[in-house]
Structures are given as C-alpha cells and as structure tokens.
C-alpha cells in the first residue's frame, strides 16, 4: 500500500484568466510524469458541495449577506475536504483543485471586505492545518480577463454570468490585488503566471511551473 501522501495543487485567479484550459494542461503534464491525479473544484467537488455551489452562484431575489456567503463556502469546503480531498491524498494520489481558500481571502476578504481574521479562524477550524503544496496563480489585467469572460458567456449562452461575474470591475481589481498580496507573502507556495498572453504561451508557462515543482520533490 502506498502510505505516502499525494501532493495538493490549487489553481487560482479572477474570472476569465483561463483556468479551465490550464487545469487540462496541468493534468496532462502530471500524467506524462506518471503521476495519478484527481481533478476537482471549489466551491463544489462532492454532491453536497455542488448543491451549495448552486445556491452560491444563483442570482436569487433573496439578498446574500457576505457572512452567509463565506460560511456556505467553508461548509462546502468542509465536506469536500472530508469526503474527497483528504481520502484521495491519503491513498497517495495527487489532487488538483480549481480554486481553494486563497479564493476566499481574495473574493470574500479583499473583494467583499469581510475580516481577514475571521477567514483565518474558519480556515483553522475547517482545514486543521491542510494547505496546498503548490498554488498557481493565473494573473491578468482585469479589463483583459473580463472581456474574455464576457465573450465566453456569450458563446455559451450564459448571459451576463453568475452572481459573482456580474460584479463591477472595481470588485475584480480588489480580488486581483488580494491574490497578488497573498502570493507576495508566500513565495514558496505560490507561482504567479502571466495569463495575459495567448493560450499556448500561458500553457507553456504553466507546464514549466509544474515540471519545476516535480523536479524539486525529493526522489
Ligand atoms: P468558478 O467560476 O471559478 O468555478 O468559481 C465560482 C465562483 O466562486 C467564482 O466567481 C469565485 C467564487 N469563489 C469565492 O468567492 N470564494 C471561494 O472561496 C471560492 C472557492 C470561489
């Protein structure tokens, strides 16, 4: 039995930075290195957490207080960690997660203005020390990324997008600043990738970052 823990990789960034394409690039890079990986996302990843995601993204008439939003995100995270992330890592398989707690700091903390200390308390209670081993942050200017997100929504018939995507650009400027601030304060875990270029060049940078991470692991 493989008793070694798998690695936990997260992918972060604002709307329209191209996370889906880069999830696929990371998956293929890991598989090429013979590494077994499970792909998942937040909010979501398990049936209960996906239900919570639907509630979080839908533009219902009932107002969503910021505290309610944050608690729902951590409720989803709790069941996701317990039922998918931890069991997968503990059998030695890697986990690649589209967004994790850095998104809560960036969106709820910097974007909405929820206390960062409150988020840290929830992080401690829910995660009990579990942190990503590597976080790739896809970074692009907000106007470039928002334009991409709008064209994608139009092409997929999604209208003006979900409850987060309809936010003003000033909100996404704060989210971007939040992500970059966190990346700057934890340079060992974060790798910032310039996502303003075309898909091929961004994928190349992503693959390089994954290769560097793998080659830095003890053999
Ligand atoms: P996605 O569209 O990238 O799948 O993410 C859904 C939305 O959830 C996205 O707009 C960001 C938001 N979100 C938060 O606000 N806080 C969080 O902690 C997470 C994981 C996502």
77 CB near ligand 1 (under 6 Å): no
Domain chopping of the chain, boundaries:
8-215
Q: What's the pLDDT score for residue 3?
A: 62
pLDDT tens track for 198-210: 999 999 999 999 9
For 4-25, b where at least 16 C-beta lie within 10 A, e where not — what string?
eebbbbbbbbbbbbbbebbbeb
Check if 41 has its Cβ closer than 6 Å to any atom of ligand 1: yes
Q: Pick the more confident residue, 2 or 176.
A: 176
If pLDDT is split at 50, 70 and 90, which confidence band does 152 have?
confident
Q: Residues 36, 182, 48, 167: is their CA dihedral positive or negative?
A: negative
What digits encode the pLDDT tens for the residues 74-110?
Answer: 999 999 999 999 999 999 999 999 999 999 999 999 9
Burial (CB count within 10 angstroms: exposed 0-12, middle 13-18, buried 19+), residue 140 = buried
pLDDT-based confidence at 34, cuts 50/70/90?
very high
Question: Which band of pLDDT confidence, cut at 50, 70 and 90, is reported for residue 157?
Answer: confident
Q: How far is the CA of 99 from the centre of ligand 1 (A)?
A: 7
Ligand 1 binding pocket includes 99 (Cβ within 6 Å): yes
Q: What is the pTM of this model?
A: 0.96
163: CA distance to ligand 1 center in Å? 10
Can you give the pLDDT at residue 186?
97
The answer to whether the CB of 179 is under 6 A from ligand 1 is no
> What is the pLDDT averaged over residues 160-189?
95
pLDDT of 216 > 80? The answer is yes
Give the whole-number percent of the chain exceeding pLDDT 70: 99
In the predicted model, what is the mean pLDDT of residues 154-166?
A: 88
Average pLDDT, the chain: 95
Q: For 38-51, what is the mean pLDDT?
A: 98
Mutation test of ligand 1: which of 103, 138, 160 has the most ligand atoms closer than 8 Å to its C-beta?
103
> Who's near 28: CB < 8 A, 6+ residues apart?
none
Is residue 41 pLDDT above 60, yes or no?
yes
CATH of 8-215 among 3.40.309.10, 3.90.1150.10, 3.40.50.300, 3.40.1260.10: 3.40.50.300
Q: Are 46 and 132 in contact (CB under 8 A)?
A: no
| CA separation for the pair 189, 177 (Å, rounded) | 17
């Amino acid at each position: 039995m493989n008793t070694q823990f798998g690695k936990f990789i997260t992918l972060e960034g604002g709307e329209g930075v191209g996370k889906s394409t880069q999830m696929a690039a990371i998956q293929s890079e890991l598989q090429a290195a013979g590494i077994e990986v499970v792909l998942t996302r937040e909010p979501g990843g398990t049936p209960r957490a996906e239900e919570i995601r639907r509630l979080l993204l839908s533009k219902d008439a009932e107002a969503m207080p910021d505290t309610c939003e944050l608690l729902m995100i951590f409720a989803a995270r709790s069941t996701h960690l317990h039922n998918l992330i931890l069991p997968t890592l503990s059998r030695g398989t890697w986990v690649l997660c589209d967004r994790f707690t850095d998104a809560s700091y960036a969106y709820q903390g910097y974007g909405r203005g929820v206390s960062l200390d409150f988020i840290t308390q929830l992080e401690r209670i829910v995660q009990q020390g579990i942190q990503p081993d590597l976080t790739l942050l896809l970074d692009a200017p907000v106007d470039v990324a928002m334009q991409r997100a709008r064209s994608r929504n139009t092409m997929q018939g999604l209208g003006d997008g979900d409850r987060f995507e309809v936010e003003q650009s000033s909100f996404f400027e704060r989210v971007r600043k939040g992500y970059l601030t966190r990346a700057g304060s934890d340079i060992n875990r974060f790798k910032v990738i310039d996502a303003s270029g075309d898909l091929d060049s961004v994928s190349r940078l992503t693959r390089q970052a994954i290769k560097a991470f793998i080659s830095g692991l003890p053999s």
